[in-house]
Amino acid sequence: MPQKTPAKPPPKPIGKAALYIRVSTDAQREEGYSIDAQKQMLEAHCVSRGIQGYEFYIDGGYTGSNTDRPELQRLLNDAKAEAIDCVIVYKLDRLSRSQKDTLYIIEDVLNPHNVDFTSINEHMDTATPMGRLMLGILSAFAQLERENIRERTRMGMKERVKSGLWMGGGRVPFGYDYDRENGVLVPNQDAETVRNIYRLYMKGYSLSRVAQMVGLKYEKLAYQILTRKSNAGFICYNGEEYMGRHEPIISLETYEQAMECLRSRSVKKLFTSEYLLTGLLYCGACGAKMRYQKWGKSGCKLVCYSQDKSKTHLIKDPDCGNPKVWADDVEDLVVKDLFRFCVEKRQESSVPPEQGVTDILNEQYAALSAKVKRLYTLYASTPNPLLLETVEEHQAELSKIMKQITLETERNTVSKKIKTLKTSITHISDVWDVLTPTERQDIVRTLISRVTVTGDDVCVDYVF
């Protein structure tokens, strides 16, 4: 007797359906995505399926990139409480544009509580195996589209800043306002504070002191303003720099000089001693280093390490007879010489610069390059071995000029550093009295390479 095929179980009855609708700000203007349009299609689906009990959950003006939506959270809570039997959406991306969030909602919330999920547009029903397969595929495509939108946005932003326009919106640099109509930064009343930060820092004040003097709450704010290249008319985006259309608060030269000062101060050796010349003192008799030594209540004297038997590795001549001298006297001589040096460099900086060698070489290279291009054009129309030979000679000459330009550029880098130092010291004598001991040490160690003491004779060597 043939066995009877067991009858298929009847479909699960749907007691109450949750009809979820989401519209973002942009989607509200798109045909077919409005709240009313989604309502009509969801209600029509319920009629065709014979679903009489349903409730709308509507999130208006919310992005689908996360689950931070009030009505979605209410829906998930109702699902966990098993107050609904099915969730229906017009399209999968109405639920979420994130693959991770979509899978979490369906796999971790709806399925464990026996709540089915239906998307009308994709004809997907998680009550069926095919629907569950489609879920993973379509969620992946929703995630891909979101990433494509993000990439297009980034590309559009890059094109925007390449054209010189500001990135827009928040994080407007201190000293500027954002002109939304023209897409550029405009200097405001704080621009003068920005200029003062550069002036004071390049005069030798520490960033902590600069912040106090201009009325900033933290030293970090002064550092952030100082290192911001937008002050010189540039836009920095994703590690690249573009020339902006906005008005610079400072010149590019001022910015580069400030950055050179910052680098030179950060790489110098740090000393914990309170004494001005620690680490710079050398004995003129034997060449050993010298140190400060307490001399009763009268102050300190400078002593050659060759005369200090406790540190044998620093002894140059055990019989060194260089006399001990008062430290205050040597410091006074060094400071006076430093001021004299500053005056000389101030006069040098007032001499107008001549045309640099690099400029001349670049002009030669450009002229010869143009000539080679014309010869190539002529050779293309009239092939001639003599023309080709001339081109090769010019190419060899271009190679020589380029090597000279490279060497000269390296020299200019050193010269530029020296020029930066010269600019930063022109007013040291004016501010010396109000500087802290640490700031004075900072300046001395930036400008002086060594101080040689031979009795009462003091010789100061500068870094340039």
Examine residue 4 and state whether it is found in any structural domain, yes or no.
Answer: no
pLDDT of residue 433: 78
Average pLDDT over all residues of the chain: 81
Examine residue 80 and state whether it is found in any structural domain, yes or no.
Answer: yes
Report CA 409 to chain centroid distance, whole Å. Answer: 26
Statement to judge: residues 353 and 380 lie in one domain:
yes
Pairing state of beta strands 184-187 and 176-179?
A: antiparallel
| Contact of 165 with 184, CB cutoff 8 Å | yes
Statement to judge: residues 400 and 287 lie in one domain:
yes
Domain end residue (candidates: 157, 187, 220): 157
pLDDT of residue 305: 92
Statement to judge: residues 259 and 278 lie in one domain:
no
Domain end residue (candidates: 267, 299, 317): 267
List pLDDT tens digits, range 130-181. 776 776 676 676 677 767 777 776 777 778 888 888 877 667 899 999 888 8
pLDDT of residue 270: 47
Statement to judge: residues 284 and 433 lie in one domain:
yes
pLDDT of residue 186: 92
Examine residue 164 and state whether it is found in any structural domain, yes or no.
Answer: no
Structure tokens at 64: 């689908």
Examine residue 320 and state whether it is found in any structural domain, yes or no.
Answer: yes
Which residues participate in catalysis according to the annotation?
24
pLDDT block averages, 10 residues each, the chain of length 464: 49 76 67 80 90 91 88 95 93 84 86 90 78 70 71 74 76 89 90 92 84 88 93 86 89 89 65 77 94 89 89 88 93 90 67 57 79 72 71 78 73 54 61 78 84 93 82
- How many domains does the chain divide into? 3
pLDDT of residue 8: 44
Domain end residue (candidates: 233, 267, 301): 267
Statement to judge: residues 122 and 138 lie in one domain:
yes
pLDDT of residue 237: 82
Statement to judge: residues 120 and 195 lie in one domain:
no
Range of the domain at 427: 270-464
> Any idea what the CATH number is for the domain that residue 251 is in?
3.90.1750.20
Statement to judge: residues 57 and 147 lie in one domain:
yes
Examine residue 62 and state whether it is found in any structural domain, yes or no.
Answer: yes
Statement to judge: residues 244 and 259 lie in one domain:
yes
Statement to judge: residues 394 and 424 lie in one domain:
yes
pLDDT of residue 352: 46
Structure tokens at 216: 């900033």
The percent of residues above 90 in pLDDT, for the chain, comes to 30
Examine residue 170 and state whether it is found in any structural domain, yes or no.
Answer: no
Statement to judge: residues 128 and 180 lie in one domain:
no
Statement to judge: residues 359 and 241 lie in one domain:
no
pLDDT of residue 448: 87
Statement to judge: residues 224 and 350 lie in one domain:
no
